[in-house]
Amino acid sequence: DVKVTQSSRYLVKRTGEKVFLECVQDMDHENMFWYRQDPGLGLRLIYFSYDVKMKEKGDIPEGYSVSREKKERFSLILESASTNQTSMYLCAGGLGEKLFFGSGTQLSVL
Amino acid sequence: KNQVEQSPQSLIILEGKNCTLQCNYTVSPFSNLRWYKQDTGRGPVSLTIMTFSENTKSNGRYTATLDADTKQSSLHITASQLSDSASYICVVSALTGGGNKLTFGTGTQLKVEL
């Protein structure tokens, strides 16, 4: 099975800090995604990437950026964290029609 | 606007009982429908993927049905176990010019009790 690993399970940051969320996948596949999950809302797509150095905005990209320097690594960047970015962040790798999710990073911005 | 609605929002059942979760969607053009299981504090894990031509698909004690005419799907869990306690998420894929676009439901929170 494909494995998608997110480096942190829990993070606590202060307003205005620059935050990096890291995601690594062990499949040799191009597609990677960042979602956020909030209570009462379905997963919402922030950014995705279909290849190295390629990125596309999802539905809610404002306040976020991404980096894909290597095929296996897809990083989500919060340039200046705000309290409304407190959320569960899920990284996923795509293989055909299947998405494989990481365990998620619960980010709290104080 | 593409939407996926799941019901009920939450459900409590006794171990060993069966249950059925519902998913209604207005996604177009339809590509496929997926059910995911998400344990607390974990990422979602795929249970089934169904295309337009598939009416039923099983994965162990999980059976998903799809009625593409009425745009409804259900997930039936047989002989529930404590480990079935989780959130079950319905995801519908629309085929767009830029590839598949996913719309996620908000999930049904299932709790299985002794």
- Contacts of A76-80 with C-beta under 8 Å, sequence gap 24+, read A76/A20, A76/A21, A76/A23, A76/A34, A76/A46, A76/A47, A77/A18, A77/A19, A77/A20, A77/A21, A78/A13, A78/A17, A78/A18, A78/A19, A78/A21, A79/A18, A80/A16, A80/A17, A80/A18
Q: How far is A81 from chain B (nearest CA, A)?
A: 22
| Mean pLDDT, chain A, integer | 92
Q: Give residue-wise pLDDT tens across range A2-38.
A: 689 998 999 999 999 999 999 999 877 778 999 999 9
Residues of B in contact with A104 (CB under 8 A): 41-43
| Mean pLDDT, chain B, integer | 94
Average pLDDT on A79-88 reads: 96
Q: What percent of chain B has pLDDT over 70?
A: 99
Position with higher pLDDT, A92 vs A94? A92
pLDDT band of residue A1 (cuts 50, 70, 90) is low
Average pLDDT on A73-90 reads: 96
Are B44 and A90 in contact (CB < 8 Å)? yes
Q: Give the pLDDT of residue B52.
A: 86
Q: Give residue-wise pLDDT tens across range B3-37.
A: 999 999 999 999 999 999 999 999 889 999 999 99
Locate the chain A residue with the closest alpha carbon to B90. A42
A98 touches chain B (CB under 8 A): yes
Give yes or no for residue B68 having a pLDDT over 70: yes
Q: Give residue-wise pLDDT tens across range A68-77.
A: 999 999 999 9
Q: Give the pLDDT of residue A40.
A: 86
Helix/strand/coil for A53: coil
Q: Give the pLDDT of residue A38.
A: 94
Q: Give the pLDDT of residue A4.
A: 92
Residues of A in contact with B102 (CB under 8 A): 45, 99
Q: Give residue-wise pLDDT tens across range B45-62.
A: 999 999 988 999 999 999
pLDDT band of residue A96 (cuts 50, 70, 90) is low
Average pLDDT on B51-78 reads: 95
